[in-house]
Amino acid sequence: MTDDQLLRYSRHILLNEIGIDGQERISGAHALILGAGGLGSPVALYLGSAGVGHITIVDDDRVDVTNLQRQIAHNMAAVGTNKAWSATQTIAGINPDPVLRTVQQRADAALLDSLVAQADVVIDCCDNFATRQAVNAACVVHRVPLVSGAAIRFDAQISVFDPRDAASPCYACLFPPADAPEETRCATMGVFAPLVGIVGSMQAAEALKLLAGLGQSLAGRLLMLDARDMSWTSMRVERHRDCPVCGPQALLNP
């Protein structure tokens, strides 16, 4: 670690739970971020500023002026440009250390299989159920921890699914693929701007904890937030033996 890096990351290094060893683990890690919108913006900025060594951001969407109410990685100059590219430019303006890669296409199963295999942690910031299921399936196959968040209107949720832990459920244990809900999007339902900042920041915190090897993750717990009165609800989530993604039969017949 260079003198400049010791200075840049000094507030992390001062923490006994991180120190130089933890910061070096962060700097040597690869984070995959799916989505560079409301949730992905704070995730990308915090992971980038914290010095995660390699960051890959996947998003096929372009910045629109309606995004700027909450998607803090973008500005007026970025309107019309790809969101993944815009987010990497913002990170680069904060911290020159991370190696940044953009994937400017929609994530399908084949792409996710390739990208997840290269990652140490995956942060799901996408906005549709099918992609969430595909991300989860790839994480189970490659045994890569997944930090999942969602937010709409004034309601949000966050959890960690860690296939390295035999007791940890996967996303499909909680939300079975066959039970696809009706899709709700910010464009039609609205979203409280700070809500995505709250949840995205928590996703970044969980990702950094996993990379640094500190504390206890949210694996096995689902946190739900009602921002109308800032009330949090915590729910235990168990691994389902008959899960079609992480159950024994599914793993025997991928």
Residues designated as active site:
186
Residues 158, 149 contacting (CB under 8 angstroms): yes
SS3 226: strand
User: How many Å apart are CA 189 and CA 185, to the nearest integer?
Assistant: 6
Please state the φ and ψ torsions of residue 109, each to the nearest 5 degrees: -60, -40
DSSP 67: G
User: How many Å apart are CA 99 and CA 144, to the nearest integer?
Assistant: 20
Residues paired with residue 68 on neighbouring β-strands, in sequence order = none
